[in-house]
Amino acid sequence: MVGLTEINEAQARIRGIALRTRLIEFTPRATPNDTRRLFLKPENQQPIGAFKLRGAYNKIASLSEPDRKRGVISYSSGNHAQGVAYAARALGLKAVIVMPRNTPAIKREATAVLGAEIVLVGPGSDERKQKAEDLAAQHGYVVVPPYNDEHIIAGQGTIGLEILEDLPDVEAVFAPVGGGGLISGVAAAIKLSKPSVKVIGVEPELAADAQASLRSGKIVQFPAEQVTRTLADGLRTQSIGPINFDHIQKYVDDIITVSEDEIRQAMKFLAANPDTVAEPSGAVATAGFLFHHHQLPKTSLNVAIISGGNIEPSMLEEIRQG
């Protein structure tokens, strides 16, 4: 399990690489009588447009010199790909990324611009993981997983430390859930520092494997053809990682789900401010806060993490006009 020591070490390691994002207060209310306050943690402002840089850099920077010389490989639907490519370039390493063919072009092109070699496969998260492991065995690359890794979790946990530093009286933190790396790290950082704070995961109804896993007490896997139906391309993982599940069971208070329409509505609200433009995956935490207050603990001070803002321009225009 990741502890505060590992998260603090990650914070020191990524300083000067990942941006220390500042909280932004958000004004739309769920109802006219809604008195709750919400602050946004805008990870869309990172150099790669998403939080994934934190964990990717922490993992790669932790490698031994012999391992760095082998080069790294990862598998990702987009944002982790950019995080690995950015970190590898900063440290002078070769990077290979296995991506699904249905990755948004903006993410695939950004990864290529950062110098990574891209290998395209089908839409299933299991398929890209297997391809990466096969190539690693063939060429000797070091695998940098997108979420099921303690260095990745510790890197993402730095977000939790920053939230507590900037808003010590926070009562609830909302985080998107895909493979579980973000919520694992954030929940560990927060619960080990201030156990009274509620940590709520949010995921699309169409990819609600994490909620099913938490409810049943065992990891539940969803079929690729179901999870690929959600607009939130960054949350199309078929199951959470085993290491992530351990952290979720120990530190996460609840996981709620949001509809595709709720994701779109949250994106439209967020797009009103250029500093908070969110891709679909980045808007789910805000959607959970806005539209599911009846399921949530009664709190006054809240934070929702905008995990990323890498949205196709055409989709952003459609959301704004919708």
Rounded average pLDDT over 125-146: 95
Both 86 and 158 in one domain: the answer is no
Rounded average pLDDT over 30-48: 91
Both 138 and 166 in one domain: the answer is no
Alpha-carbon span 137 to 135, nearest angstrom = 5
pLDDT level of residue 305 (50, 70, 90 thresholds): very high
Q: Please report the beta strands in the chain, taking only residues with DSSP state E, as ranges in sequence order.
A: 24-26, 37-42, 72-75, 95-100, 117-121, 142-143, 172-176, 198-204, 254-258, 301-306
Both 213 and 238 in one domain: the answer is yes
Both 19 and 61 in one domain: the answer is no
Q: What is residue 13's predicted lDDT score, i.e. its pLDDT?
A: 98
Residue span of the structural domain in which 120 resides: 52-143
Both 25 and 72 in one domain: the answer is no
Amino acid at 202: V
Lowest mean pLDDT among 46-55, 117-126, 269-278: 117-126
Q: Which residue, 120, 143, 166, sits at the end of a domain? A: 143
Both 29 and 157 in one domain: the answer is yes
Rounded average pLDDT over 150-177: 98
Both 82 and 104 in one domain: the answer is yes
Residue 254 pairs in a beta bridge with 200
Please state, for a pLDDT cut of 90, what percent of the chain lies above it: 90
Both 29 and 159 in one domain: the answer is yes
Q: What is residue 33's predicted lDDT score, i.e. its pLDDT?
A: 82
CATH of the domain at 94: 3.40.50.1100
Mean pLDDT rounded to a whole number for the chain: 95
199-234 confidence digits (pLDDT tens): 999 999 999 999 999 999 999 999 989 999 999 998
Strands 142-143, 72-75: pairing is parallel
175-196 confidence digits (pLDDT tens): 999 999 999 999 999 999 999 9
82-108 confidence digits (pLDDT tens): 999 999 999 999 999 999 998 888 889
Both 241 and 303 in one domain: the answer is yes
The total number of structural domains in the chain stands at 2
Name, in order, each residue with C-beta under 8 angstroms of 266's C-beta and a sequence gap of 6 or more.
258, 278, 283, 284, 286, 287, 290, 291
Q: Are 98 and 74 in contact (CB under 8 A)?
A: yes
Q: Which residue, 143, 160, 185, sits at the end of a domain? A: 143
Both 43 and 82 in one domain: the answer is no
Strands 24-26, 37-42: pairing is antiparallel
Q: What is residue 30's predicted lDDT score, i.e. its pLDDT?
A: 64
Both 130 and 167 in one domain: the answer is no
Lowest mean pLDDT among 115-129, 182-196, 237-251, 297-311: 115-129
Q: Are 108 and 312 in contact (CB under 8 A)?
A: no
Residue 36 Cα distances to 169, 171, 292, 293, 299, angstroms? 13, 11, 13, 10, 7
pLDDT tops 90 at residue 293: yes
Nearest to 6 by CA among 115, 148, 153: 153
Please state, for a pLDDT cut of 70, what percent of the chain lies above it: 99
Both 43 and 57 in one domain: the answer is no
Q: Which residue, 110, 143, 176, sits at the end of a domain? A: 143
pLDDT tops 90 at residue 249: yes
pLDDT tops 90 at residue 114: yes
